[in-house]
């Protein structure tokens, strides 16, 4: 068990950003995608040629998340409201995936990437850390958010996956850590809560979607469209829901995941 945990053979990091687009308000027939049930999930092909859906082990007792709200708002009430939005977003993801997310409290951690296997040593607050960041200040900066030439995105979400072989030589793979970083420089663009407009709730649903394995889609009406648009809703749409069901409990347990990923 321990020997397997100490020898993860494959490591993959995925980080996807969302930008904010306010110039073209979405209307009901302004759909760039053909199908309303569009979704994108990621697979990993093992060295034996078998495909594995990149996902969390949904049979963990819980998957913890912690929130760093230091830069989420100027008052205690505003920061508390940000935590409430994060909790509400995770609850929706839990409902759709069957993954038992559990709030682990506040943290001062800011997720960062390093090109080694130390992710689980560095991120101690929870398996998923949600943090508001400020790319203009070293203390609050993350290397998971990069300037694409047009400035920084509103948020980035992603996961860390490890793959290993079991006692019979079969490949297994599981996400074991995730992150969501929110650009505090865009706070004023987003309305707190869920509802119509450009909401923080929709931004969180999008980034947490990445943290559980969803990729972008071309359908503008969906939460996983890569640009935040002004909308009449902030909830997962049919395609998002289809995607969530394909990274969750219906796919079954991933044996040995807890040996490879120490749970928090
Ligand atoms: Zn995205």
Distance (angstroms) between ligand 1 centre and the Cα of 208 equals: 9
Q: Report the separation in Å between the CA atom of 227 and the middle of ligand 1, taken as the mean of its atom positions.
A: 8
The alpha carbon of 8 and the centre of ligand 1 are apart by a number of angstroms equal to 27
| pLDDT at site 169 | 87
CA 18 – ligand 1 centroid, Å: 4
Give Cα separations from 116 to 10, 55, 112, 120 (angstroms).
Answer: 11, 20, 12, 10
Cα distances (Å, whole numbers) of residue 200 to 177, 180, 194, 207, 225? 23, 13, 7, 11, 15
Which pLDDT does position 2 carry in this prediction? 33
Per-residue model confidence (pLDDT) at position 18: 54
Q: How far is the CA of 216 from the centre of ligand 1 (A)?
A: 6
pLDDT for position 115: 65
Distance 60 CA to ligand 1 centre (A): 25
Residue 143 Cα, ligand 1 centroid: separation in angstroms?
16
- Residues 239 and 221: their CA atoms lie apart, in Å, by 9
Distance 55 CA to ligand 1 centre (A): 17
Contact of 131 with 119, CB cutoff 8 Å: no
**Cβ within 8 Å of residue 7, ≥6 positions away:** 164
Compute the distance from residue 66 Cα to the ligand 1 centre, in Å: 20
132 CA distance to ligand 1 centroid (A)?
16
pLDDT of residue 233: 86
Per the CB < 8 A criterion, the answer to whether 171 and 155 are in contact is no
The length of the chain, given as a count of residues: 264
* Cβ atoms within 10 Å, residue 116: 9
Distance 253 CA to ligand 1 centre (A): 26
Superfamily of domain 2-22+37-255: Collagenase (Catalytic Domain) (3.40.390.10)
Give the whole-angstrom CA distance, residue 44 versus residue 61. 25
Ligand 1 centroid, distance to 154 Cα (angstroms): 10
Identify the pLDDT of residue 72. 98
Q: How high is the pLDDT of residue 60?
A: 94
Task: Give the Å distance between the CA of 11 and the centre of ligand 1.
Answer: 21
Nearest Cα to 53, choosing from 261, 248, 257? 248
pLDDT in tens, the chain (264 residues): 333 333 445 666 676 655 544 333 323 333 333 445 789 998 888 888 999 999 999 999 999 999 999 999 999 999 999 999 999 999 999 999 999 999 999 999 999 887 665 676 778 899 999 999 999 999 999 998 888 777 888 999 998 888 888 888 899 999 999 999 999 999 999 999 999 999 999 999 999 999 999 988 988 889 999 888 888 889 999 999 999 999 999 999 999 998 888 888
Q: How far is CA 173 from CA 36, 40, 58, 66, in A?
A: 30, 18, 13, 24
């Amino acid at each position: 068990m321990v020997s397997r945990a100490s020898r993860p053979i494959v490591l993959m990091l995925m980080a996807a950003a969302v930008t904010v687009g306010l110039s073209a308000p979405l209307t009901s027939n302004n759909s760039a995608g053909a199908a309303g049930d569009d979704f994108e999930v990621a697979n990993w092909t093992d060295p034996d040629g078998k495909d594995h859906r990149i996902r969390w082990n949904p049979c963990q007792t819980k998957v913890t998340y912690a929130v760093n709200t230091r830069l989420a708002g100027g008052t205690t009430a505003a920061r508390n409201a940000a935590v409430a939005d994060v909790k509400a977003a995770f609850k929706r993801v839990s409902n759709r995936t069957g993954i038992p997310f559990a709030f682990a409290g506040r943290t001062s951690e800011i997720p960062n990437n390093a090109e080694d296997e130390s992710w689980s040593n560095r991120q101690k607050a929870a398996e998923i850390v949600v943090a508001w960041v400020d790319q203009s200040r070293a203390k609050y900066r993350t290397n998971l958010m990069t300037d694409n030439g047009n400035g920084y995105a509103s948020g980035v979400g992603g996961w860390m996956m490890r793959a290993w072989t079991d006692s019979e030589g079969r490949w297994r793979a599981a996400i074991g850590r995730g992150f969501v970083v929110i650009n505090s420089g865009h706070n004023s663009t987003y309305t707190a809560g869920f509802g119509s407009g450009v909401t923080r709730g929709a931004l969180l649903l999008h980034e947490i979607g990445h943290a559980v394995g969803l990729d972008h889609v071309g359908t503008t009406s969906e939460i996983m469209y890569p640009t935040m648009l002004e909308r009449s809703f902030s909830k997962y749409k049919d395609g998002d829901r289809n995607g969530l069901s394909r990274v969750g409990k219906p796919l079954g347990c991933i044996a040995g995941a807890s040996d490879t990923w120490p749970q928090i």
